[in-house]
Structure formats: C-alpha cells, structure tokens
Amino acid sequence: LSAVQILITLDALHKMNVDSCVSYITSLQCKDGSFTGDRVSGEVDTRFTFCAVATLSLLNRINDTINLDSAVQFIHRSSNFDGGFGVRPDSESHSGQVYCALGTLALLGRLSEVDGDQLGWWLCERQLPSGGLNGRPQKLPDVCYSWWVLSSLSIINRVHWISKNKLVEYILACQDIETGGIADRPGDWPDPFHTLFGLAGLSLL
C-alpha cells in the first residue's frame, strides 16, 4: 500500500507492473475472506484486509479481483460486543483496527452495514480529559490515535463528536519545542510516525 501511495504521489504509477501487483494481492485472500500480510507467513489481520482493499482501489482494480463479499464478512466477524473492531474475530476492539474496518467498508460502499451511532460513540469515548485520544478503553492517549480515531469518525461523518479544541491543544502539547517534531505524548521524544499522524489529525479538524 505504501509503495503504491508513494508512486501515485510522485506520478510514477506507470512504472509499476500493475497486473502482477494485483495478482499478488489477490493471492493473499484466504477462503474465509480474510487476508494474510504475505505469502510466507499466514498471519491474518484486519489491517491486511484494509491494505489489500485500499491498494486495489488506488489501482482501480477492486472489481473482478478479490472476493468482496467474503472480505466484508470477515470484517463483520471481527466486530465486537462494544461496537468496535479488532485484529480478528474475538480480539479486543482497537482504534487502529476500527480505522481498517471502516476504511475497508467505505471503499467497498458497505458503510451502511455499520451502526454509525454506536461506533461513533465508542470512538468519541476515546477522548480523555486531557483532550488526547486513546486506542482502547482505559489506555493512555497517544497522538497517533488523532489519526486512527479521527479518520474513523470522519468516514462516518461524526468528527464533531469529539472536542476539537481540546484535541488540538493536546496535539500541540505533543510538539517538541526544540526539534519541532511531534511525540506520542507531551514531553516524550518526537518521531516521524507521530509527527505524521499528529499532522494528519490536525488536517481533519
């Protein structure tokens, strides 16, 4: 996914063999609709479903390649009693996985199959008094969830369910004054990962 996104960003997609990339991705789908991350391991994760669907969408090859219905069914089986989504069936709901599930459903035009109110509520409950967002109930906030949670809310048109001002306050507090980069939490060392997601979160507000 990252490779394709970079090529598209640099207007260089034509340099890639799209057909073989598509057949590689298609080969990663399992019988139950889930996706593995590679051909040699066999690890299954809703992240891989999202990566597969997003890549194929970017390449305009989402139809007539993978089995869309079974991919969606796997996403639904990964949903939990609290409305969230986990890595696989039974796994605890996690904001990152919610993003992957919603992203997949949105790209496949199947968002109506999700209870937006319930999921939106679970997502907006990620906001803590500090303004920061966490990934699971009772965990610490982390700037990267500004992206995973916010983009999920954005997909279901409920970004306004969190307090914008408080989140902005939190993200800016995570910016390191000396280097300018953004850290996971105020006072920690910044890194490119959290800088990217802090900025991405701000861009949605």
Partner 1 sequence: MSGSGSGDGEEFVGWEEKPKPYIFYKDRPEWSDVQPVPQNDGPNPVVCIAYTPKFQDVYDYFRAIVHRNERSSRALKLTEDAAILNPANYTVWAYRRSIINDLKSDLDEELKLSTKMVFEHPKNYQIWFHRMAIIDWLKDPGDELSFIASVLELDSKNYHAWQHRQWLIRKFNLWEGELEFVSSLIDRDIRNNSAWNQRYFVISNFKDINSTDIVESEVEYSLNKIRLTPNNESPWNYLRGILQSQCLYKNTSLRAALDTMVNNNICSPFLEEFRVDIIEEQLEDGIGNKDELLDVAKDILDNLSNTLDTIRVNYWNYRLKKINRQYSNAADVE
Lookup: tokens for 176: 């390191």
Question: Please, is 101 exposed, middle or buried when counting C-beta atoms within 10 Å of its C-beta (0-12, 13-18, 19+)?
Answer: buried
Among residues 2, 9, 138, 180, which is the contact residue for partner 1, using CB under 8 A? 138
Instruction: Quote the least distance from Cβ 108 to partner 1, whole Å.
Output: 25
163 touches partner 1 by CB under 8 A: yes
Nearest to 149 by CA among 111, 187, 188, 93: 93
Question: CA 89, CA 93: separation in Å to the nearest integer?
Answer: 10
Cβ-based neighbour number of residue 10 at 10 Å: 9
Please report, as residue ranges, which positions from 17 to 46 form the binding site for partner 1 (by CB under 8 A). 37-38, 40-43
Task: Give the x-and-dash track for 109-128 against partner 1 (CB under 8 A).
Answer: --------x--xx--xx-x-
**58 Cβ partners below 8 Å, 6+ apart?**
1, 4, 5, 8
**129 Cβ partners below 8 Å, 6+ apart?**
none
Instruction: Quote the least distance from Cβ 163 to partner 1, whole Å.
Output: 5
* Contact stretch for partner 1 (CB under 8 A) within 13-21, 58-66, 77-85, 194-202: 77-85
Lookup: tokens for 97: 């996985």
Among residues 129, 178, 180, 187, which is the contact residue for partner 1, using CB under 8 A? 129
Instruction: Quote the least distance from Cβ 18 to partner 1, whole Å.
Output: 20
* Contact stretch for partner 1 (CB under 8 A) within 65-73, 102-110, 129-137, 177-185: 129-137
Given the rule CB under 8 A, which residues bind partner 1? 37-38, 40-43, 80-82, 87-88, 90-94, 117, 120-121, 124-125, 127, 129, 131, 136-139, 160-163, 166
